[in-house]
Amino acid sequence: MSRFAAPIAEQIWDMKYRFKEADGTPIDLSVEDSWRRIARDLARVEKDPDQWEDKFYAALEDFKYLPAGRITAGAGTARQVTLFNCFVMGTVPDSMSGIFDMLKEAALTMQQGGGIGYDFSTIRPRGADVKGVAADASGPLSFMDVWDAMCRTIMSAGSRRGAMMATMRCDHPDIEAFITAKSDPARLRMFNMSVLVTDAFMEAVKADGPWELVFKDRVYHTVQARDLWNKIMQSTYEYAEPGVIFIDRINQRNNLSYVEEIAATNPCGEQPLPPYGACLLGSINLARLVRDPFETNAELNEAALTELVATAVRMMDNVVDASKFPLEQQAQEAQAKRRIGLGVTGLADALLMLGLKYGTEEAARQTEAWMKAIARAAYLASVDLAEEKGAFPLFDKEKYLAGGMVQDLDEDVKEAIAEHGIRNALLTSIAPTGTISLYAGNVSSGIEPVFAYAYTRKVLQKDGSRTEEEVVDYAVQLWRDKFGDKTLPEYFVNAQTLEPAAHVRMQAAAQKWIDSSISKTINCPEDISFDAFKDVYMQAWDSGCKGCTTYRPNDVTGSVLSVADEKPPAEAPEQVRGGDDAAEVIYMSEPLQRPQSLEGATYKLKWPDSEHAIYLTVNDVVINGHRRPFEVFINSKNMEHYAWTLALTRMISAVFRRGGDVSFVVEELKAVFDPRGGAWMEGKYIPSILAAIGGVLERHMIAIGFIEGEGMGLKSDPKAEVMAVGEAPRGKACPSCGEFGLQMVEGCMTCPSCGYSKCG
């Protein structure tokens, strides 16, 4: 009998975690083989490997403890990959050579599958003097473009997607450009972005006071704090970014504040880390620990929880010694502090099994109690490890007990730390668990509410056909198994029906006993007012959260996945308007015939250090009074360019003549990265000559009114409108499987059908 609770769980295991030969031949013949592989690898550093292998296997069995994806996929495979999930890189120097040294380190880390975070506040603002070269600085945003291009290249070369977090202090002179950078959807696509908000700034916001933008003691501008706050809020209201990180609170609550200062996080924000900091992640599956679900005596087995936490802490501590690291500095940092991030998944399902409504005061109290129990068990387990194997090398008893979350621990726990030390400096974190939650039978993800109790998933078969299967939430399936078609009780709520305040309440309840941070998305309704939206962030600040990430569905971010039954789509109309004043968008099974004459324009593109210019001619067709691109001619006297310019001419023209939304051509060209280096043009870094051509095409589309502005594409997505005829609204298309169901979960755009996550 299969251990998998749902077909999607086995499919996720096969796609993402099953150990296979290079040609796809399975080595893990069953999920039991995967559990054995992981248990054996993490036990090999023990004095008695056989004894601990069996205990580790028992923890993994039936998906009770879920190591993060990199451990599940990589442990015991002998592959040159890191088992650590996330890194914050070294402090970026304010020099050209130092910046590109950091770029190289980032590339090496990504090559082994690590997500990275960077604080770009250390780079001088745009327009500042660059001594010795009689030039002005291009600013941190231009260098972020370089990082973005690098990440895209690593992504295309490897099996894992690149993921990066960029942070900037709220007092950096370029903070306003940072805040609005994602208004261009073609720019910085590989970054999640967050503003480092200080206590002083929040006080200035509340007092409506002035705020100085400073770099190295020089005041560049003075703004009103509330105006800057409103700009942050307006951008995240419209584009879901940047997030907000309460950086002073993070440093004040850090157990290691006596030896490190934090200025950045990993891509999903749950791991604030110092320079070269690294962390590994894992989750206790609370949904598997509830006894007598849905009965009046339902309860979480706390004895089993305590034992499971202790085993998980030991397994994760062993990962520090078993893992490889992309950089020596990362290995040293990990060994010196032995930081781990043990969290939970299946919280919402566990609450449902106890009859508790997610987001209520009662559910928040239960969540806080469970998180405290986990923290207590984790700290005591780490004390036991310290007694057996030694405390982490930078442990200082007096300083450690005086700071961070340690102050809030029970007295007996603090006494044990004082007597024996502690093996791991930090132990708890709530990480994104979207994919491993699917693998565990579609339990609710992390501490998020259930997103959808059931939805239909289209599965691509080997013959090219698609079959449909229902994907049901783990708790809902248990209810069905127990009560058949009996109506779900009123306490079954989901992410779409909850008020934002309920999300904040749950995040704050969990945060009290999490010594790192939490990856959580606060879902907001599309029609939430701007003032109410801003209040969500103030509630997060006032309730003790370390950060805040929201998602409001709109025309830019995409609609929320519908869980209603889909109706057969009506026949798509021949043409759809993208808005009252938008260009006509036409979808054709055959290309348009070329008219005898066309209107167009020719552009000269001079690439730096190139002897010959490139000339681009873009001709347009007029349909119902609206112009749209129809063909392109690219010419150069440089014979080295002949083959690719001819190929590009033919391919782009063929795409243009098919009709539809062709603005993606611009986006794809602008994303091309030349490993030999790009060039600075008009104060902006352009990663390749192909990207420069994409920029020319974009300017032409803006000039004829086909798109609204730089990076904006069509005013609305006509493809979504065509596909939505006769159907309920759906999310954006998944770039991995193509299903229209992307949803924002734990700060990441995630696909429920295949487990794809933007954050890797």
Residue 153: which pLDDT band, with cuts at 50, 70 and 90? confident
290 membership: H or E segment, kind and range:
strand 290-291
Distance, in Å, from the CA atom of 581 to the CA atom of 562, rounded to the nearest integer, reads: 28
Lowest mean pLDDT among 323-327, 518-522, 588-592, 648-652: 588-592
**Closest by alpha carbon to 594, among 633, 563, 537, 557?**
633
DSSP 3-state assignment of 152?
A: helix
Token pair of 705, please?
A: 């009114």
Token pair of 246, please?
A: 């309460």
Q: Which domain holds residue 659?
A: 575-722
Distance, in Å, from the CA atom of 58 to the CA atom of 677, rounded to the nearest integer, reads: 51
Note the pLDDT of residue 563.
Answer: 47
Note the pLDDT of residue 678.
Answer: 76
Report residue 587: phi and psi, to 5°: -110, 130
- Average pLDDT on 23-28 reads 91
Note the pLDDT of residue 579.
Answer: 36
Lowest mean pLDDT among 274-278, 287-291, 528-532, 559-563: 559-563
Q: What's the angle, vertex CA 473, arms to CA 757 and CA 533, rounded to 5? A: 60
Higher pLDDT, 638 or 170: 170
- Average pLDDT on 170-183 reads 95
Distance, in Å, from the CA atom of 236 to the CA atom of 243, rounded to the nearest integer, reads: 7
In a domain, 214, yes or no: yes
Residue 588: which pLDDT band, with cuts at 50, 70 and 90? very low
Residue 554: which pLDDT band, with cuts at 50, 70 and 90? confident
- Average pLDDT on 485-502 reads 92
DSSP letter at 740? B
pLDDT, tens digit, 9 for 90 and up, residues 355-398: 999 999 999 999 999 999 999 999 999 999 999 999 999 999 99
Task: Verify whether residue 611 is a known catalytic residue.
Answer: no
DSSP 3-state assignment of 312?
A: helix
Task: Verify whether residue 297 is a known catalytic residue.
Answer: no
DSSP 3-state assignment of 166?
A: strand
Single residue among 211, 232, 252 that ends a domain in this structure: 252
User: How would you write 235-278 as a 3-class SS string?
Assistant: HHHHHCCCEEEEHHHHHHCCCCCCCCCCCEECCCCCCEECCCCE
Distance, in Å, from the CA atom of 302 to the CA atom of 310, rounded to the nearest integer, reads: 12
Out of 268, 524, 734, 748, which one is annotated catalytic?
268
Higher pLDDT, 713 or 681: 681
Single residue among 231, 252, 273 that ends a domain in this structure: 252
Considering the entire predicted model, what is its pTM?
0.80
Helix, strand, coil tally for the chain in percent (to 5): 40, 20, 40
With a cut of 50, say whether residue 714 has pLDDT above it: no
Distance, in Å, from the CA atom of 650 to the CA atom of 634, rounded to the nearest integer, reads: 9
With a cut of 70, say whether residue 347 has pLDDT above it: yes
Task: Verify whether residue 268 is a known catalytic residue.
Answer: yes
In a domain, 155, yes or no: yes
In a domain, 141, yes or no: yes
Q: What is the number of residues in the chain?
A: 760
Could you tell me if 585 and 661 are in contact, meaning their C-beta atoms sit under 8 angstroms apart? yes
- Average pLDDT on 65-90 reads 90
Amino acid in the structure at residue 2: S
Distance, in Å, from the CA atom of 243 to the CA atom of 549, rounded to the nearest integer, reads: 5
Number of compact structural domains in the chain: 2
With a cut of 50, say whether residue 732 has pLDDT above it: yes
Lowest mean pLDDT among 212-221, 478-487, 587-596, 658-667: 587-596
In a domain, 586, yes or no: yes
With a cut of 50, say whether residue 580 has pLDDT above it: no
Higher pLDDT, 718 or 698: 698
What DSSP string describes 503-532?
Answer: HHHHHHHHHTT-SS-B---EE--TT--HHH
E strands, 267-356, in order:
272-273, 278-285, 290-291, 299-300, 340-345
Dihedral, CA atoms, 32, 443, 520, 237, nearest 10 degrees?
A: 130
In a domain, 505, yes or no: no
697 by Cβ neighbours in 10 Å (0-12 / 13-18 / 19+) ranks as buried
DSSP 3-state assignment of 749?
A: strand
Q: How far is CA 154 from the centre of its chain?
A: 17
Lowest mean pLDDT among 9-18, 57-66, 104-113, 226-235: 104-113
Single residue among 213, 234, 252 that ends a domain in this structure: 252
With a cut of 60, say whether residue 760 has pLDDT above it: no
Could you tell me if 65 and 381 are in contact, meaning their C-beta atoms sit under 8 angstroms apart? no
Out of 254, 266, 523, 619, which one is annotated catalytic?
266
Higher pLDDT, 526 or 464: 526
Residue 139: which pLDDT band, with cuts at 50, 70 and 90? very high
Lowest mean pLDDT among 518-527, 724-733, 734-743: 724-733
Amino acid in the structure at residue 734: C
Could you tell me if 513 and 428 are in contact, meaning their C-beta atoms sit under 8 angstroms apart? yes
In a domain, 510, yes or no: no
Contacts for 230 with CB less than 8 Å, ≥ 6 apart: 534
In a domain, 476, yes or no: no
E strands, 43-121, in order:
65-67, 86-88, 115-119
Token pair of 41, please?
A: 């690898």
Residue 562: which pLDDT band, with cuts at 50, 70 and 90? very low
Distance, in Å, from the CA atom of 400 to the CA atom of 520, rounded to the nearest integer, reads: 28
316: how many CB neighbours lie within 10 A of its CB?
28
In a domain, 632, yes or no: yes
367 membership: H or E segment, kind and range:
helix 361-389
With a cut of 70, say whether residue 559 has pLDDT above it: no
- Average pLDDT on 472-489 reads 94
DSSP 3-state assignment of 40?
A: helix
Lowest mean pLDDT among 52-56, 72-76, 360-364, 414-418: 72-76
Q: With both helix axes pointing from N to C terminus, report the angle between 225-239 and 530-542 in degrees, rounded to the nearest 10.
A: 110
pLDDT, tens digit, 9 for 90 and up, residues 532-543: 999 999 999 999
Lowest mean pLDDT among 30-44, 512-526, 572-586, 684-698: 572-586
With a cut of 70, say whether residue 412 has pLDDT above it: yes
Distance, in Å, from the CA atom of 429 to the CA atom of 446, rounded to the nearest integer, reads: 10
Residue keyed to tokens 């089993």: 304
With a cut of 60, say whether residue 585 has pLDDT above it: no
Note the pLDDT of residue 758.
Answer: 65
Note the pLDDT of residue 107.
Answer: 87
Mean pLDDT of the chain: 86
With a cut of 60, say whether residue 722 has pLDDT above it: no
